[in-house]
Amino acid sequence: MNNSHLISFDNTEYAFAYKKKNDLKNAHFLFKAMGMPWLVNIGLKFTPLAIKWKLPFTIPVIRNTIFKQFVGGETLGETSAVARKLGDYNVQVILDYGVEGGDDGEQGFDHSTEEFIRVIEYAATQPNIPFISVKVTGLSRFALLEKIDELMVKVPGTLMKKYLSVTENLPAEEKEEWHRVRVRVMRLCEVAAAKKIGVLIDAEETWIQSPVDALTILMMDTFNKQQVVVYNTLQLYRHDRFKFLQDSYEAAAERNFVLGAKLVRGAYMEKERLRAEEMNYPSPIQPDKQSTDRDYEASVQFCIEHLDIIAVIIASHNEQSNLTATQILQQKNIPLNHPHVHFSQLFGMSDNITFNLAKAGCSISKYLPFGPIKDVIPYLMRRAQENSSVGGQTGRELGLIKKELERRKTG
């Protein structure tokens, strides 16, 4: 089944085949609640406090609502049941261990590293978990990343020249600390390469992103020669990222490695705009949604045109972006499941995209976070916020769920 005109994101039978009627009703209730900004705002303020104060009903309520919708489970064992179910529908999994280290300093970062390695080793035993996701802020002190980034801005030259010059000239103690961060990332990539699991390095806020980019490119230069192990995440709501994608491609061509690129629109927009305003520097965010969409489509096109050197993950909840990608592939007679093309959506959202693309034969996954409830709360709060602020997203989810419930009634 390889024709784009056969791919439709309106087929709710495919979209929700893996969900029981009760699960659909719960999802309907949840998205309805997320469509009420006042309710979401109360939840955002109250939930972290309720957990801190250990209010007795908090955890069960979260577990049975928002946690169940967007998270695989508290443990790898719980999560594997969800992963297996997705696998029955040809949907793979990007495992995301939702704990961000750093509460207890270096010890915390070392602990996170061991946990990530455990997740990689687990993924390697599962037939449909090709990737894990890693946040460098789980392995490094935020303020150190911030300092390196700030210094890099002041140095002329390419990203790599800036990075090397700054990290070489750090004070001895911080140089040593950064060395430990590099070793942690290197260890993860080594295990992943040996186990044939892809490592997706998450995007961070713009003011710590440059050292993350440089480190990720260095890892690609080491590990992406024979296979694709390391992927960088590009947030296209930043106006400089399409150019950055092209520069990264040139580096890959020159250094003879495969560029792993995960394309997303972005996750920190309000925060970014606010900081730029407060600190009086030009906003790194695109002026409007059209500009973001334009750069996203251009990036998809660019990656598909260079599949000899780029492995792309199209991680989008935008129906048009996904459709455009499949159409470009078909126009170029490239198979939808080309080894360098992968699609992905978050677990609990846009099932109409995921399962219909899977049905069409695309290589596709759900981004599946797991971890103790109190640790994944920041992730869940972002989902709630996103669903209430992304125009039409909640309405679209509700409409599709309603349609499927109707279909089951009459079917």
pLDDT tens, 64-101?
A: 999 999 999 999 999 999 999 999 999 999 999 976 65
Q: What is the mean pLDDT of residues 211-225?
A: 98
Contact 259, 219 (CB under 8 A): no
* Nearest-angstrom CA–CA distance, 18 and 10: 16
- Classify burial at 203, counting beta carbons within 10 Å of its beta carbon; exposed 0-12, middle 13-18, buried 19 or more: buried
**Helix intervals (H) in 256-318:** 269-278, 289-305
* Nearest-angstrom CA–CA distance, 91 and 45: 35
Q: What is the mean pLDDT of residues 269-296?
A: 94
46: its two tokens: 């109250």
Question: Phi and psi (nearest 5°) for 245?
Answer: -60, -45
Q: What is the mean pLDDT of residues 319-348?
A: 97
123-137, 145-159, 326-340, 380-394: lowest mean pLDDT where? Answer: 380-394
Place of tokens 């789980």: 138
* Nearest-angstrom CA–CA distance, 400 and 398: 5
* Nearest-angstrom CA–CA distance, 229 and 219: 9
pLDDT of 356: 97
How much is the mean pLDDT over the chain?
93
* Nearest-angstrom CA–CA distance, 1 and 17: 19
Report if pTM > 0.85: yes
Question: Phi and psi (nearest 5°) for 297?
Answer: -60, -40
Amino acid (1-letter code) at residue 358: A
63: its two tokens: 């577990």
pLDDT of residue 102 exceeding 90 = no
* Nearest-angstrom CA–CA distance, 319 and 16: 17
| % of the chain with per-residue pLDDT over 90 | 84
**Helix intervals (H) in 130-205:** 142-153, 159-168, 172-195
